[in-house]
Amino acid sequence: MPYTANQPPRAESNDELRARIPGWGADLDPKDRPSVPRERFDPGATGAHWEFPDRQEEKWPRERSIEHKFLTPVFGTSSPPKGLSGVLRKFAYATYSEGRAAHWLILLGADRVDAIESHLKSFLTTRPDNPITETGVLSEFHRNGFSSRFGRKRVDLHHQWIDPILVAGPWIAAVCAIVWGARALAKR
Amino acid sequence: MRAMVYRGPYKVRVEEKDIPPIEHPNDAIVRVTLAAICGSDLHLYHGMMPDTRVGMTFGHEFIGVVEQVGSSVQNLKVGDRVMVPFNIYCGSCYFCVRGLYSNCHNVNPNATAVGGIYGYSHTCGGYDGGQSEYVRVPFADVGPSIIPDWLDDEDALMCTDALSTGYFGAQLGDISEGDTVAVFGAGPVGLFAAKSAWLMGAGRVIVIDQLEYRLEKARSFAQAETRNFAEYDDIVVEMKKTTDYLGADVVIDAVGAEADGNFTQHVTAAKFKLQGGSPIALNWAIDSVRKGGTVSVMGAYGPMFSAVKFGDAMNKGLTLRMNQAPVKRQWPRLFEHIQNGYLKPNDIVTHRIPLEHIAEGYHMFSAKLDNCIKPVIVPNA
Q: What is the pLDDT of residues B349-371, one digit of tens each?
A: 999 999 999 999 999 999 999 99
Residue B143 Ramachandran class (φ > 0 left, ψ -120 to 50 alpha, else beta): alpha
Q: In this predicted model, what pLDDT tens digit does every residue of B2-53 receive, in sequence order?
A: 999 999 999 999 999 999 999 999 999 999 999 999 999 999 999 999 999 9
User: Which chain B residue has the Cα nearest residue A43?
Assistant: B97
State whether B23 and A57 contact (CB < 8 Å).
yes
Q: In A, which residues are within 8 Å of B361 by CB distance?
A: 136, 139
Q: Nearest CA of chain A to the CA of B17: how many Å?
A: 11
Taking 50 as the pLDDT cut, the residues of chain A under it are: none
pLDDT exceeds 90 at position B322? yes
Bridge partner list, B11: B8
Mean pLDDT in residue range B331-358? 98
DSSP B203-227: SEEEEEES-HHHHHHHHHHS--EEE
- Judged by CB atoms closer than 8 Å, whether chains meet at A46 and B246 is answered as no
Q: Is A36 on the interface with B (CB under 8 A)?
A: yes
State how far the alpha carbon of A15 is from the alpha carbons of A18, A19, A22, B104, B193, in Å: 5, 6, 12, 42, 22
Nearest CB partner across the interface for B200, out of A28, A101, A115: A28
Is the pLDDT at B79 greater than 80? The verdict is yes
Q: Give me the residues paired with residue B68 across strands.
A: B29
Inter-chain residue contact A63 with B110, CB threshold 8 Å = yes
- pLDDT tens per residue across span B90-107: 999 999 999 999 999 999
d(CA A79, CA B348): 33
Question: Does residue B381 carry a pLDDT above 80?
Answer: no
Look at residue B298 and tell me whether its pLDDT is greater than 90. yes
Which residues of B are less than 8 Å from A149 in CB distance? 367, 369
CA dist B63 and B378 (Å) reads: 11
Burial of B117 (0-12, 13-18, 19+ CB in 10 A): buried
Query: At B351, is the secondary structure helix, strand, or coil?
Result: strand
**Res A169: pLDDT:** 86
Can you list the alpha helix ranges (DSSP code H) found in B26-181? 41-45, 153-159, 162-172
Check CB contact under 8 Å for A119 and B96: no
Chain B nearest-CA distance from A176, in A, is 21
Give, in order, the Cα–Cα distances in Å from A186 to each of A176, A177, A178, B56.
Answer: 15, 14, 12, 41
Closest CA to B97 of A34, A46, A36: A46
Does the beta-carbon distance from A76 to B116 stay under 8 Å? yes
pLDDT at A166: 86
The span from the CA of B252 to the CA of B183, in Å, is: 5
Say yes or no: A62 contacts chain B, CB-CB below 8 A: yes
Domain segments of chain A as ranges: 61-129, 131-188
Q: Which of A2, A135, A154 sits opposite B10 (nearest CB)?
A: A135
- What is the bridge-based pairing of β-strands B28-36 and B134-137? antiparallel
Distance CA A188, CA A184 (A): 7
d(CA B371, CA B381): 22
Residue B289 has pLDDT above 80, yes or no: yes
DSSP B71: T
CB B19 within 8 A of CB B150: no
CA distance A82 to A117: 10
Mutation choice for B interface testing from A87, A93, A139 by most B CBs within 10 A: A139
- ipTM rounded to 2 decimals: 0.95
- pLDDT computed for residue A153 by the predictor: 85
- A113 vs B: CB within 8 A: no
The residue of chain A with its CA nearest to that of B72 is A49
State whether A148 and B368 contact (CB < 8 Å). yes
DSSP conformation class of B132:
B
Written in H, E and C, the secondary structure of chain A is CCCCCCCCCCCCCHHHHHHHCCCCCCCCCHHHCCCCCCCCCCHHHCCCCCCCCCCCCCCCCCCCCCCCCCCCCCCCCCCCCCHHHHHHHHHHHHHCCCCCHHHHHHHHHHHHHHHHHHHHHHCCCCCCCCHHHHHCCCHHHHCCCCCCCCCCCCCCHHHHCHHHHHHHHHHHHHHHHHHHHHHHHHHC
CA B261 to mean position of chain CA atoms: 21
* Domains contained in chain B, CATH given: 2-161+326-378 (3.90.180.10), 162-322 (3.40.50.720)
Query: Are B362 and A136 an interchain contact pair (Cβ–Cβ within 8 Å)?
Result: yes
User: What is the distance between the alpha carbons of residues B110 and B107, in angstroms, rounded to a whole number?
Assistant: 9
Q: How far apart are the first and last CA of chain A?
A: 81
What are the tens digits of pLDDT across the range B136-170? 999 999 999 999 999 999 999 999 999 999 999 99
**Per-residue pLDDT tens over the stretch B203-238:** 999 999 999 999 999 999 999 999 999 999 999 999
Judging contacts by C-beta atoms under 8 Å, the chain A residues touching residue B362 are 136
- Residue contact A26–B91, C-beta within 8 A: no
Q: Is A2 on the interface with B (CB under 8 A)?
A: yes
Q: What pLDDT score does A152 carry?
A: 87
Tell me whether residues A111 and B343 touch, CB distance under 8 A: no
Q: Euclidean distance between the first and final Cα of chain B, in Å? A: 14
Amino acid at A151: G
User: Worst-scoring range by mean pLDDT, A4-13, B187-196, B225-234, B321-330?
Assistant: A4-13
Mutate to test the interface with B, among A7, A51, A74, A167 (most CBs of B within 10 A): A74
Asked if residue B205 lies in contact with residue B224, where contact means CB atoms within 8 angstroms, the answer is: yes
Give the mutation candidate from B27, B37, B60, B112 for the A interface (greatest A CB count, under 10 A). B112
Q: What is the mean pLDDT of chain B?
A: 97
